[in-house]
Amino acid sequence: MSVAAELVDYDDVLAAYEPVMGMEVHVELSTATKMFCGCANQFGAEPNTQVCPVCLGLPGSLPVLNEAAVESAIRIGLALNCQIAPWGRFARKNYFYPDQPKNYQISQYDEPIAVNGYLDVPLDDGTTWRVEIERAHMEEDTGKLTHLGSDTGRIAGATTSLADYNRAGVPLIEIVTKPIEGTGERAPEIARAYVTALRDLLRALDVSDVRMDQGSMRCDSNVSLKLKGAEEFGTRTETKNVNSLKSVEVAVRYEMRRQAAVLQAGGTVTQETRHFHEDGYTTAGRSKETAQDYRYFPEPDLEPIAPSDELVDRLRSTIPELPWLARKRIQQDWGISDEVMRDLVNAGAVELVAATVAHGASSEGARAWWGNFLVQKANESGVELDALPITPAQVAAVLKLVDDGKLSTKLARQVVEGVLAGEGEPEQVMNDRGLALVRDDSLIQAAVDEALAANPDIAEKIRGGKVQAAGAVVGAVMKATKGSADAARVRELVLAACGQG
């Protein structure tokens, strides 16, 4: 398939057309249990170990609504400046596909919990773009199908399909924007910035782990083109499951260029879902179902949701400052450059550094630990920084041990490794591993005397004025004291012992 030949140059797209976009983002809530049953809601368990009659849709089972999920949904709505619906029913969305063992999905079809909001999205140039939110509604996630035997991993051509229902019934929020218009050439950038801002906001709300790579945040991007100045929107395509922030940008740009090619060849854009490929292009999927196909009707097994004003007010008081505004304030407090801040943000370190500072550490010290050594440790073990088994309080305690002169930075690393290995609190690790710096000169002196006695030739050289030879003796002492002596002090004592002090 010649993909590139069918594309119009980006500049030429913009000369003739205006893009219109709409983003649908699905977020899995990180509640302890699923939406309508008591099964654990946790990523990565053995397939089909977190299932029960309710989420397997066995006859006679009845759903029970998870209140924590409703509260998260309301908080998301409030953070997106939405109105919270005082009353709403769930609906059944009927379809037959093995990812949903009930053969219907419970969803807030036309009575969403939150409507009519907006998010002021920060852009790279320091300006903001207001993205209007149409609605945020609750639904349950489907199971996960894995198709084997086809080159693409898709069902077409597959010889075997595996179904894992651990994910079936996980609480999901779908956040849908109103059409995003007037962006011109910035459409791809704005799409990406919106999804980035939404991810950061949801993370700050602590309602989801928003991992696009693990599917806890998934984006479908709708794009259409209209002739410049035209009133009516063109036909949109919906590119499914765009799994990284970069891909959001790539998918929008690609669809603009592809649709322009279709239109300029005199064709019409087909309304369809499309699949995004990691190499940066989309291919046609199924043609879009219409609402009628799903035979929606009100879910008879659940009571309507009717959040009280008191509940909404209480939840409103838990909405944090927008994370990028909080970051700007923090960046000023810490006095660091945009680049340094960006690195910390990308590493997911900002909140951890801030918490470490709150435990009494200097921002410089806290930044150095989280931004370097611990990032490296997280990468080595393939986890997110905040999943490392060390707390900001513990990092602050390590920094204090260094400040107090009990640890060198090098020894502190070993202490941190001990903490990460589950050996206990920093001070305990330091003591158990015998890492504390030896402050006692008499102990160091004994090691110096021994090292000089063991290396008479070198001792002689130093006595003769070749002070650079002292390095070897210092090295021997450091080795003998397992690095717990202060190297500068060792050197002083070596030189003094050889009459060079």
Residues within window 388-417 making contact with ligand ADP, judged by CB under 6 A: none
d(CA 501, CA 493): 8
What's the min distance (Å) between Cβ of 233 and ligand ADP? 3
SS (H, E, C) 104-127: EEEECCCCCCEEEEEEEEECCCCC
The residue of the chain with the least Cβ separation from ligand ADP equals 22
Q: Which stretch binds ligand ADP (CB under 6 A): 98-106, 233-241, 346-354, 445-453?
A: 233-241
Provide Rg for the chain, Cα atoms.
Answer: 30
Pairing of the two strands 217-227 and 91-94: unpaired
Q: Which one, 20 or 416, has the nearer CB to ligand ADP?
A: 20
Span interacting with Mg ion, options 17-25, 28-36, 377-385, 396-404, rule CB under 5 A: 17-25
Work out which of 47, 57, 179, 424 binds ligand ADP, going by CB under 6 A.
179
Give the closest residue to 252 by CA, choosing from 280, 215, 289: 280
Q: Does residue 55 interact with Zn ion by CB under 5 A? A: yes
Task: Name which position in 22, 88, 371, 418 contacts ligand ADP (CB under 6 A).
Answer: 22
Considering the rule CB under 6 A, would residue 236 count as an interface residue with ligand ADP? Answer: yes
* 232: amino acid identity, one letter: E
Q: Kindly tell me which of 177 and 216 has the beta carbon lying closer to ligand ADP.
A: 177
Shortest Å, Cβ 187 to ligand ADP? 10
Residue 52's binding partner out of ligand ADP, Zn ion, Mg ion, none, with CB under 5 to 8 Å set by partner kind: Zn ion
Under a CB-based contact definition with an 8 Å cutoff, are residues 13 and 256 in contact?
yes
Residue located via tokens 């654990």: 40
- Rule CB under 6 A: is residue 66 a binding residue for ligand ADP? no
Tokens 């060849």 correspond to what residue?
Answer: 265
Burial class of residue 231, CB neighbours in 10 A (0-12, 13-18, 19+): exposed
Least CB distance to ligand ADP at residue 116 (A): 13
User: Which one of ligand ADP, Zn ion, Mg ion, none interacts with residue 55, CB within 5 to 8 A by kind?
Assistant: Zn ion
Q: Which residues contact 37 (CB under 8 A, 6 or more apart)?
A: 52, 54, 55, 63, 64, 169
Q: Which helix (H) or strand (E) holds 419?
A: helix 409-420
Contacting ligand ADP (CB under 6 A), which of 107, 177, 247, 484?
A: 177
Interface stretch with Zn ion, choices 35-43, 98-106, 382-390, 404-412 (CB under 5 A): 35-43
Q: Which does 301 bind (CB under 5 to 8 A by kind): ligand ADP, Mg ion, Zn ion, none?
A: none
- Give the other-Cβ count within 10 Å of 254's Cβ: 23
338: left (phi over 0), alpha (psi -120 to 50) or beta: alpha
Task: State the residues that interact with ligand ADP by CB under 6 A.
Answer: 20-24, 134, 176-179, 222-224, 233, 236, 238
Task: State the residues that interact with Mg ion by CB under 5 A.
Answer: 24
Task: State the residues that interact with Zn ion by CB under 5 A.
Answer: 37, 39, 52, 54-55
